[in-house]
Structure 1
Amino acid sequence: MLPCSFFGKGNLNFDYPKTVAIVGTRNASQYGKMLVDELIEKFAEHQIQVISGLAYGIDIHAHKQCVHYGVSTIGVLGHGLDRIYPAIHKSTAQQMQAKGGVLTEFLPGTKPDRENFPTRNRIVAGMCDATIVVESGEKGGSLITAYLANDYNRDVFAFPGDVNKTYSKGCNKLIRLQKAHLISSSDDLFYLMNWKKESGKTVQIPLFLELNDEEQNIVDLLRENNEQSIDELAYHLQQPVSKVSTTLLNLEFQGCVKSLPGKRYLLAV
């Protein structure tokens, strides 16, 4: 169920062209932190926003690296906006507000009760184009987020780990069950999501190509918004998804659009 309202603090921008959730165990190892470091350093070269839960371990390390590299980041809270939990992360939460901030669906005064955190995970999963699980046990919040992201038709990625390590078992399970793509670096993510560095070049539609009104409307929307899901296109066009899907297929055959994971589309370069 979608929340009726949100409460936020900071310079929150919900129009980033690329948004990624980074989640994982509260017991992050040096291996897990190293993987996060590589991701965020490369994200700084792209226009990517990072969403996480401001929890111990992988979450807070991702937020701190975002602050360090100047990457926009939002922490989704499991309590009211009048506090930060854990309190030790208050300083990082304040630093995040310069480029990002904190967000919650809970009213001020709501305590960080245990049952609130699985609830907030659906917000993390729903806000993002992709969810990356860095390290995880066989159970826990990061796996809940990954399964929710699958339900929302978002792409999920996981780093494989040592089969004998407790906090590799969750990632290995996601990969084994085909609930997540295996990645070993940011390059794998960019390749699988078909994300390239913004070049500032204008996309050119092939010359002498005649488009009908429906095809032209989709091309105009993609030119304006860079990248759209099929559901977003259907909403803007006020047409059934099945009809938009047929038009998109025709545009693909003509070399005008390119399909991405998660039923997303952009103009072909």
Structure 2
Amino acid sequence: MPASFKINETTITQTIDDPWLKSKGIELLVKRDDLLHPLINGNKWRKLKYNLLQMQSQNKTELLTFGGAFSNHIHACAAAGKIFGLKTYGIIRGPNLDLSNPTIQFAQQCGMQLHVVNRIEYKLRNDSQYLAELQEKFPDAYILAEGGTNTYAVPGCAELAQSLPEHDYLICPTGSGGTLAGLIEGSNTATQIIGIAVLKQAQYLTDEVRELSCKAQSQTNWQLLCDFHGGGYGKFTPELWAFCQNIDIKYNLPLEPIYSGKMMYAIWNLIEQDYFPPGSKIIAIHTGGLQGLEGLKYRKLI
């Protein structure tokens, strides 16, 4: 990988030391990918890594992508643009652009050019004709899907799985399916891999994961749990937020209630229900996204 697209990928694996877990015979570790980089962290870097190389191989010098106004992906792509000297464009789901929103402010400070579109146009973000028109308008841009999930997102997440100590269960929050697909690709068949869906009616994501991962098509060592969405994408209950705060105080593990918080809450519930047999070693992936807390504070949701 060229030096220009490199960051230090060494992060800690934190053990959650708790008498209750010991009483259940469970060893729980958290891969702290939120500490990967101050600005491009978690699964956002893992997904971007090979997309940046693909961009380079296509002789593209700019990066264009899509996201909501509080998107972790927009935040990470804007940061990547600043760090690696790339011109970046963000197609933002509207109807308006709130310039006081901390994620939008950060993206602009990084030099990202923001184009707000209405929800009808935003729905076309995966439409081939719409993408062809965008490519014509931005000929030097590498167009990256919302959330950074595509074929090139998978190998970076597979490398993450390969870097972990031995474990029986590997668990991640799931929004678009790219991280889960990569973890399946990078794991051996003895590992049980679980995605915790963070949006409502997410069963369709199992097909997305199969499309991204050949292993997911033939292996049965993975599943997507769809009952821990906390009300839907970007939504959460007061109980979930209280849980996130408690975990931070008790174990010095910061969580946000949109992705990793939902995953940890799910793990806690599953352990309570004796879902995991005694003697199980679980690794949970903290996929970052802590920048989102500023947006939740801004909207007075926390």
Shorter-chain TM-score bucket reads: 0.3 to 0.5
TM-score (normalizing by structure 1): 0.34
Bigger RCO of structures 1 and 2 (CA < 8 A, at least 6 apart): 2
* TM-score normalised according to structure 2 size: 0.31
